[in-house]
């Protein structure tokens, strides 16, 4: 059993614990590589099926190719896809020019809250990883949020021996992070090994640009790269020294931007 096998088996265990212990679960599918491998792991965990609905938060500012990819594979893999939007904020003209953090909160965080209330979800499976940025490093696999979606990172439940927090008062909901222990490199190595179809925005254009992390078109930049396929991305990452989310503008807004966003319910 190699390192990827270990990661895979652990993630499958967590997904099955989530499915067994919580009713009204949803899995967030951002179309990015992380939530796409998580979806793949779910199909492994449930022997070719994905019994959990997949929620995609559409800010309407997503790169169009992402929507095409989403709809194609939702059909191809027979997924139960639920699309959420904060229509009210969009009608009021929300966009990143009103402030990136304000926009993220309105369209992503509140967009997510809207769909969760509407569908009655009490648990959400997310493809975040500890190595993405500092605040995510502090997460648990099973992480409670209060009724306002807030995360109290100072008082988190202990997690040992794969015994997760599965009991909650009615006003909390739970976030589950099955690939928390993976790194960016692990994700790409796994994509390579499993031959998982991944959106081609990650691959370098002839001009030598590629996306390393996907988000809304106005706030997501490309990096300089000649990596045209998964193998080349794995090679590139082995030698990378810059941060994965360096192309994501909201992180750079100020020193504690991500912490603030996440304490208030951002993914």
Which parts of the chain are beta strand (E)? 25-28, 54-57, 81-84, 123-125, 142-145, 173-176, 209-210, 223-224
Burial of 124 (0-12, 13-18, 19+ CB in 10 A): buried
Whose Cβ is closer to another protein: residue 81's or residue 240's?
A: 240
**Taking CB under 8 A as the rule, does residue 77 contact another protein?**
no
> Which residue in this structure is represented by tokens 């996306």?
211
d(CA 236, CA 242): 11
**Taking CB under 8 A as the rule, does residue 130 contact another protein?**
yes
**Taking CB under 8 A as the rule, does residue 168 contact another protein?**
yes
> Which residue in this structure is represented by tokens 């031959």?
195
**Taking CB under 8 A as the rule, does residue 3 contact another protein?**
yes
**Taking CB under 8 A as the rule, does residue 105 contact another protein?**
no
Which residue stretch of 54-62, 180-188, 202-210, 213-221 sits at the interface with another protein (rule: CB under 8 A)?
180-188
**Would you state the structure tokens that stand for residue 21, as one six-digit string?**
């212990």
Whose Cβ is closer to another protein: residue 96's or residue 145's?
A: 145
Whose Cβ is closer to another protein: residue 118's or residue 252's?
A: 252
Task: Say which residues have a Cβ less than 8 Å from residue 192's Cβ, sequence separation at least 6.
Answer: 230, 231, 234
Chain positions 15 to 44 lying near another protein, rule: CB under 8 A, are 16-17, 19-20, 40, 43-44
Q: Which of 28, 126, 19 is nearest to 83 (CA)?
A: 28
Distance of CA 42 to the CA centre of its chain: 14
Whose Cβ is closer to another protein: residue 86's or residue 186's?
A: 186
Task: Say which residues have a Cβ less than 8 Å from residue 9's Cβ, sequence separation at least 6.
Answer: 1
**Taking CB under 8 A as the rule, does residue 81 contact another protein?**
no
Whose Cβ is closer to another protein: residue 148's or residue 241's?
A: 241
**Taking CB under 8 A as the rule, does residue 156 contact another protein?**
yes
The residue within the footprint of another protein, chosen from 94, 237, 249, 261 (CB under 8 A), is 237
d(CA 88, CA 153): 30
Whose Cβ is closer to another protein: residue 23's or residue 47's?
A: 47
Give residues in contact with another protein (CB under 8 A). Answer: 1-3, 5-6, 8-10, 12-13, 16-17, 19-20, 40, 43-49, 51, 130-135, 137-138, 140, 153-154, 156-161, 163, 165, 167-169, 181, 183-186, 189, 194, 237-244, 255-256, 259
């Amino acid at each position: 059993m190699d390192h990827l096998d270990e990661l895979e088996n652990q993630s499958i265990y967590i997904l099955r614990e989530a499915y067994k212990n919580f009713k009204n679960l949803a899995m967030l599918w951002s179309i990015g590589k992380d939530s796409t491998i998580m979806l793949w792991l779910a199909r492994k965990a449930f022997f070719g099926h994905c019994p959990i609905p997949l929620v995609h938060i559409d800010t309407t500012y997503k790169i169009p190719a992402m929507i095409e990819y989403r709809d194609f594979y939702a059909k191809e893999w027979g997924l139960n896809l639920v699309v959420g939007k904060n229509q009210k904020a969009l009608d009021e003209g929300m966009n990143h020019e009103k402030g990136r953090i304000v926009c993220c909160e309105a369209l992503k965080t509140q967009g997510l809250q809207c769909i969760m209330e509407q569908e009655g979800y009490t648990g959400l499976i997310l493809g975040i990883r500890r190595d993405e940025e500092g605040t995510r490093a502090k997460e648990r696999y099973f992480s409670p949020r209060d009724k306002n979606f807030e995360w109290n990172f100072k008082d988190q439940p202990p997690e040992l021996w794969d015994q997760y927090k599965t009991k909650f008062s009615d006003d909390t909901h739970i976030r589950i992070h099955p690939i928390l222990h993976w790194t960016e490199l692990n994700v790409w190595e796994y994509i390579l090994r499993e031959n998982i179809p991944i959106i081609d925005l990650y691959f370098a254009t002839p001009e030598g640009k590629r996306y390393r992390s996907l988000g809304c078109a106005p706030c997501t930049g490309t990096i300089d790269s000649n990596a045209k396929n998964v193998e080349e991305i794995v090679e590139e990452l082995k030698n990378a020294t810059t941060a994965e989310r360096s192309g994501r503008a909201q992180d750079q807004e100020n020193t504690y931007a991500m912490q603030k966003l996440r304490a208030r319910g951002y993914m």
